[in-house]
Each structure stands twice: as structure tokens, then as C-alpha cells.
Amino acid sequence: MFCALFTLATFGALVLLGFAVGAFGTLVGAGGGFILTPVLLILYPADSAATITGISLVAVFWNAASGSAAYAWQRRIDYRTGVVFAISTLPGAVAGAIVVQFANRRFFDAITALLLTSLALWIITSGATGPGTASQSGTSTRHLTDRDGNSYQYGVPLARGAMFSVGVGFISAFLGIGGGVIHVPLMVGLLGFPVHVATATSHFILAIMSGASSLTHLVLGSFTQGHGLRRATSLSIGVAVGAQLGALISKRIAGRRIRQLLALGLVALAVRLGVSLF
């Protein structure tokens, strides 16, 4: 009886954690993996890096899939660009899921904290460049009007974005952070996407990339340690629901505020994870 109640309480706690992660991750377009991986590292210090990233990426997939459905309804996804970037992430996503099987846990924790800190500093110190224009060399013109009538016109440097996406796929799969936390700053700061289009399109890319990484982890047996698959399922239920709330709230928040929330979340988790190393 006690074990059953404990299991139920653990399930409920993970669902609630997933809900919070899904809502915030979708709001900032990062998919929640950048929050979930550090939290799981703190909650389960005995688990391997491969198990932690595998659990996180499964939850990220359901978060991104749910968020993408909401953003598709809002008509804020740039599908033409998203497909190109998503395909570019796949080789790195599979490779990252394989390489992490051999990662030392303490080294993994340190690298994660360092990356989160670096991303936060980059977002804080660099402002959005604003939408790219069709006159820029090597850009493809995009014009998107969402369901609320907001119009976005910008230029996309597809070749440069595809090149970045290869590296994003590897880093995000290796660390289990999904990639949106890297892709959104890149898309806004270096590729000239409007923030609201970047967050929506990033979720679409993330669903494809995290799906490929999750399947790789499943084949490699990453979920055999502890209760990996059970934890991933509990978190996935929460993030799928939370993602709908995050997408709804995102329509009411300015792009600048979304960037600030993203940076704040990164700093908080980097500090907490860094403290756990000592």
C-alpha cells in the first residue's frame, strides 16, 4: 500500500513538473529540455547521462509536438524554413544520442552548466537584430500572416541556417536540451526572424529532431536504468498539456519579454546545477 501511494505521488509530481516545463518551454519556444535536463540531473544524481538525456528528449518530443499543434492553429510556423532546418539537424541529433552513451556524468553536468550560462549571457548582451530583408544576399523572402492578422515579412538565409542546424542537432541531443534554447536565439539574433515566428518554427523543428533522438535512445537501451521509461511517460503527459497553455500565453507577451524570460530561466538553472557540482 505504501509503495503504491509512493509511486502515485511520484507520478503526480512528475506530471506537475512536466506541466510547468511544457508551459514555460513552449512560451519561449525552447521546448523545455533546457529546464528538464538540469532538473533531472539534480533529482537523479545516480542515473547516467544517457538515461537523463533520453528521458528529457522523450518529454521534449511530446512538448514540441503539442506546442507545434497549437502554433499551427495560430498559423505562426514557417514550414518552408522549418523543414530545411529540421532535416539538417537529423545527422547531429542521432550522433549526439550515440556519443552521450560514453559521457562521464560529472563532466556532463559541468558542460551543461557552462552552456546554459553562455546562452544566458549571449541573450542578455545581444539584442534582436530584427527581421531580415529580402535584399540581403542569400536570403529567401518570407511573408506570414497569423490567425490574429499579425503580418511578418522577413528574409531567411537558408544555407547559413541549415549549417547552424547541423551543430544544433548534435549539441541538443548530446545534452538532452532539445535544441530550441539554441535555435531561437540563433534564429532571432543571427538569422533575423521575428521572435514569435522563431518560437513557433523552432517548436516544429524540435518535434522532428527530438523524435529522431528519442528513437535512437530507445534502440540503444538508454531507458533500461532505473525507471527511465516510466519517468519519461509521466513527464510527457504533463508537458503535452502545459505546452497548450504556453502557446496561448505567448500571444499576449511581447517578443522582448520572451527573450528576458528565456535568459532568466537559463541563469537560474545554470547556478543551481553549478552549485551541485561542489
pLDDT of residue 151: 93
CA distance 9 to 30: 28
The domain spans of the chain are 19-131+165-276
| φ, ψ of residue 94 in degrees (nearest 5) | -70, -45
CA distance 271 to 278: 12
Mean pLDDT for the chain? 81
8 Å CB contact between 48 and 54: no
CA distance 50 to 201: 27
Q: Which residues contact 34 (CB under 8 A, 6 or more apart)?
A: 25, 116, 119, 177, 178, 180, 181, 265, 266, 269
| Whole-structure pTM value | 0.77
Which residue stretches of the chain are H helix?
2-27, 33-43, 49-74, 79-99, 105-125, 158-175, 180-189, 195-220, 228-250, 255-276
Site of grid cell 500571444: 251
**Residues with pLDDT less than 70, the chain:** 1-6, 29-31, 126-138, 225-226, 254-255, 259, 269, 272-278
What is the CA 273 to chain-centroid distance, rounded? Answer: 18
pLDDT of residue 269: 67
Residue 226 CB burial class (10 angstroms; 0-12, 13-18, ≥19)? middle
Q: Which residues contact 79 (CB under 8 A, 6 or more apart)?
A: 204
